[in-house]
Amino acid sequence: MRTKRLRTVLTALLVGALAAGCSSTPDEAAPQETGPVDLTFWTWAPNMDKIAAVWNAEHPDIHVTVSKQAGGDEAAAKFLTAAKAGNAPDLVQAEYQMLPSFVAAEAVADIKAEVSAAKAQFSDGIWGLVTLGTDGVYGLPQDSGPMMLYYRTDLFTKYGIAVPKTWDEYAAAARAVHAKDKTVYLGGFSSKDPGWFAGLAQQAGGQWWSIQGESWKVGIDEGPTRKVADFWGGLAAEGVVDTQAPWTPEWNAALNNGKVLSWASAVWAPGVLSSNAPDGKGKWAIAPLPQWSAGESYSGFWGGSSIAVAAGSKHRAAAAQFATWLNTDTKALDLLIKEAAVYPAAKGGQALLTTAPDYFANQPDFWAQATAISSSARGFTFGPNVNVAYSAYKDAFDKAVQQKSSFGAALTAVQEATVADMKKSGFTLVS
Amino acid sequence: MSITASAEGAGRVRRPLGLMPTAVLLLGALYCLLPVAWVLMAASKTRGELFSTNAFAPGTGLLENLSDLSAYRDGIFWQWMANTALYAGVGAVLSTAVSVLAGYALAKFRFFGQNLIFNVLIGGILVPSVVLAVPQYLLLAKAGLADTYWAVLLPSILHPYSIYLARIYAAAAIPDALLEAGRIDGASEGRLLRVVAVPLMGPGMVTIFLFQFVAIWNNFLLPFIMLADDHRFPLTVGLYTLLVTGANQPALYNLVITGALLSIIPLIALFLTMQRYWRTDLSGGSVKS
């Protein structure tokens, strides 16, 4: 897809410019503030300006101006470039996997002193995503993306398969469906979505990055993730899972016309399905992801983001105050759900979700299921070069899919690219 | 050419030779117009129709898409359209003015460093403007101009290729003898530029203006990096925010496609109206040579 290529070029350019080094450093923040302050806020969540207007009406001293940005990797690259130039906004939406690179570039502030009271509002797993396993706190969790299995209830009945409880059952069902109709697949493997694969690795218990003393350990090519790669590699080699690139018109059409029966996706999928597969309304349902061992109940995270305060912000306390309100205040959480259509990370926000999405009107307990799945999701610590690992994933697995070669070898390539980049950037690694 | 009308045999021989180029041109036209046709058709489809019906079958949602797009965030799309028109219009006018002055000076005057300047310009043509976007951002950020209208306008003004074009055009279109005659009659250099050079360079100026207008209209990376406030975005960056909406939001495909269609209409209109200014050989007969 053209946009994908454009994005790659963009990201490469922006990141390259940063690597080339620019000497200007952000001004030191002045934490104490008196009088009205003006905050700028970069976000891609829709209708955030309306939510900020509610805050502005209630807080005459702190005025927040929302600037809606594009999301994705370029958003992160643009923020880093702006931070280097001393032009960063006060508040920025940061995907969890991007936060470590912001911290490594000293672009976001440690706001532990300002926000530590909010810790009780979040589950430990999610809080870990903004502390990065350190003593600091680098943002407030906004939304999260626990993964689950979306499936077509009508077509599961038609092809006579039960909702798979384990990945073995999933593989069997994939073979059965494809044997009945060569144009139909149970599900797909995406070589374009490293975040999806990372979520499945989290479910399997993978730890892609960890800190041991003063050094980093990269564990991408290890047992749990290997298991995931080999599983999908086997199905892809048999040709019983769909390996076409997702997010294309063809993929949308396949979801829409029932050529793909299920999608292992995250809690935000209803938005995608209702937009890209409008004909399936009322026909989809959710179930927990298949498990690696019967009786287990784990999930992983795909996506989700936090609100961070820029290191260069002159109004750190005010910015932290707004971020706390936005992500923990009941009224704000209600607005986030209704206006911005996010699945809030705060426990209080998840309790506010009662009516199932319109698209899932057939499954009234949608949110009860989602909350149960969410509590079973486990994440891992993201490292400082997630972007490198993710683009290595796309390169290696794209190639493996096209050449029908080993997914294990592709995983090794991702591990090696990640390690090499960290060494080049001067991180010490445990061998 | 004169024999074809009368000589039947010669005409037969020429025909197959003429068919091939026509066929190739038709293929080229098809290649260029198919995507436009797709955009036109896709813009008329509702969300439900977009991915489920035939790609080149018209849909039923054009008016709905237009009103949705206009309603999106209180009509910010039209603000982007106005911004783009401002960037492209003002940028192209300023760029044309600078290019014509520089090109005329380089073509018609001998001065110290002339060749050096020209060689640097040639070098400038070889550097893609994409590569310069990030350094320009860092520079303008230092000057406090990032995230202003100037941040997009200033880098668009100086365009080496346009200056090069203006130089070549001035050298060919303005006869030295004409300038000489003017000088003998006592015209000042300013008057010569106004009365002789600029009118003769008309078609060249239109070309440069159109080039720059289209280039700025379609520019993505520069405004993407320079601008933070979404009320200053041009169409390209604005539509991109609709397309890349973060993981938990559906991309607003039908709005993006409708917006893309609307954004090419002014360009098409501009080309159709400006075409008549492409008259060549304005100076034909002004001097005897």
- Which whole number is the average pLDDT over A247-268? 88
Q: How many CB pairs under 8 A join A and B?
A: 128
Contact A44/B224, CB-based, under 8 Å? Answer: no
Average pLDDT of the residues in A266-276? 86
Say if CB A316 and CB A138 are below 8 A apart: no
Average pLDDT along chain A: 87
Percent of chain A's residues with pLDDT above 90: 52
Q: Does residue A23 carry a pLDDT above 70?
A: no
Task: Specify the pLDDT at position B164.
Answer: 92
**Which chain B residue is nearest to residue A251, measuring alpha carbons?**
B51
Q: Is B134 on the interface with A (CB under 8 A)?
A: yes
Smallest Cβ distance to A22: which of B138, B240, B253?
Answer: B138
Residue-wise pLDDT for A113-122, tens only, equals 999 889 999 8
> Does the distance separating the beta carbons of B241 and A13 come in below 8 Å?
no
Residue B82, Cα to own-chain centre: how many angstroms?
17
Exposure letters B65-88 (e unless 16+ CB within 10 A, then b): bbebbeebbeebbebbbebbebbb
What pLDDT is recorded for position B86? 95
A402 in the same domain as A412: yes
Contacts of A267 in chain B (CB under 8 A): 248
Q: Same domain, yes or no, for A296 and A328?
A: no
User: Range with the lowest mean pLDDT among A297-301, A323-327, A352-356, B135-139?
Assistant: A352-356
Can you tell me the mean pLDDT for A296-316? 92
* A178: CB partners within 8 A, 6+ apart: A184, A185, A186, A239, A240
Which residues, given as ranges, of chain B have pLDDT below 50?
1-12
Per-residue pLDDT tens over the stretch A338-372: 888 888 999 888 888 888 888 898 888 899 888 88
Tell me what the mean pLDDT of segment A207-235 comes to: 90
Instruction: Tell whether A141 lies on the interface with B, counting CB pairs under 8 A.
Output: no
Pairwise CB contact (< 8 Å): A266 & B246 = no
Domain that includes residue A355, residue range: 33-145+302-375
Are the beta carbons of A71 and B51 separated by less than 8 Å? no
CA distance A288 to chain B (A): 19
* Residue at A44 is within a domain: yes
Look at chain A and report how many structural domains it folds into.
Answer: 2
Q: Does A89 touch chain B (CB under 8 A)?
A: yes
Asked if the model's pLDDT at residue A17 lies above 50, the reply is no
Inter-chain contact B244–A71, Cβ cutoff 8 Å?
A: yes
- For the domain spanning B68-277, the CATH number is 1.10.3720.10
Which residues in chain A have their CB less than 8 angstroms from residue B135's CB? 17
Residues A261 and A350 in one domain: no
The full set of domain ranges for chain B reads 8-62, 68-277
Mean pLDDT of A172-181: 92
Q: Band the pLDDT of A153: cuts 50, 70, 90.
A: very high
Chain B touched by A342 (CB under 8 Å): yes
Reported pTM: 0.82
Phi, psi of B95 (to 5 degrees): -65, -40
Across the interface, whether the CB atoms of A70 and B229 are under 8 A apart is answered no
**Residue B228 to residue A45, Cβ atoms within 8 A:** no
Identify the CA nearest to B168 among candidates B210, B106, B94, B121: B106
Beta-sheet strands, E only, within A301-402: 301-309
**Interchain contact B237–A (C-beta under 8 A):** yes
Closest-CA residue of chain A to B146? A87
A219 belongs to a structural domain: yes
User: In this structure, is residue A6 part of a structural domain?
Assistant: no
Whether chain B has a CB inside 8 Å of the CB on A1: the answer is no
- On whether any CB of chain B is under 8 Å from the CB of A253, the answer is yes
Q: Which chain B residues are within 8 Å of A256, Cβ to Cβ? A: 51-52
Whether residues A268 and A387 share a domain: the answer is yes
* Burial readout A176-198 (b: 16 or more C-beta within 10 A, e: otherwise): ebbeeeeebbbbbbbbbbbbbbb
Q: Within this chain, do residues A177 and A278 fall inside the same structural domain, yes or no? A: yes
Residues A253 and A174 occupy one common structural domain:
yes
In a domain, A387, yes or no: yes
Provide the CATH number for the domain around residue A127. 3.40.190.10
- Whether residue A277 is found in the same domain as residue A159: yes
Shortest alpha-carbon distance between residue B51 and chain A (Å):
5
Q: Which residues of A touch B47 (CB under 8 A)?
A: 275, 278
| Inside any domain, residue A25 | no
pLDDT above 50 for A187: yes
A249/A127 same-domain check: no
- Residues A248, A275: one domain? yes
* Least confident among A28-32, A281-285, B51-55, B140-144: A28-32
Model pLDDT for residues A40-91, shown as the tens digit of each residue: 999 988 889 999 999 999 999 999 999 988 887 788 889 999 998 888 999 9
Q: Is B242 exposed, middle or buried (0-12, 13-18, 19+ CB in 10 A)?
A: buried
What residue has token string 């390690």?
Answer: A419
Position B250 scores a pLDDT of 65
Same domain, A185 and A51: no
| pLDDT beyond 90 at A173 | yes
Is the separation of the CB atoms in A178 and A185 below 8 Å? Answer: yes
Does residue A166 sit in the same domain as residue A209? yes
DSSP string spanning chain B? -TTTTT-HHHHHHHHHHHHHHHHHHHHHHHHHHHHHHHHHHHHT--HHHHTTS-TTS--S-HHHHHHHHHHTTTTHHHHHHHHHHHHHHHHHHHHHHHHHHHHHHHHH---TTHHHHHHHHHHHHHS-HHHHHHHHHHHHHHTT-TTSHHHHHHHHH--HHHHHHHHHHHHHHS-HHHHHHHHHTT--HHHIIIIIIHHHTHHHHHHHHHHHHHHHHH--HHHHHH--STTS--HHHHHHHHH---TTS---HHHHHHHHHHHHHHHHHHHHHHGGG----TTTTSS--
A25 part of contact set with chain B, CB < 8 Å: no
Which of B131, B135, B241 is nearest residue A70 as measured by Cβ atoms? B241
- Quickly state the pLDDT bin for A1 (edges 50, 70, 90): very low
Whether residue A328 is found in the same domain as residue A213:
no
pLDDT in tens, A370-416: 888 888 888 888 888 898 999 999 999 999 999 889 999 999 999 99
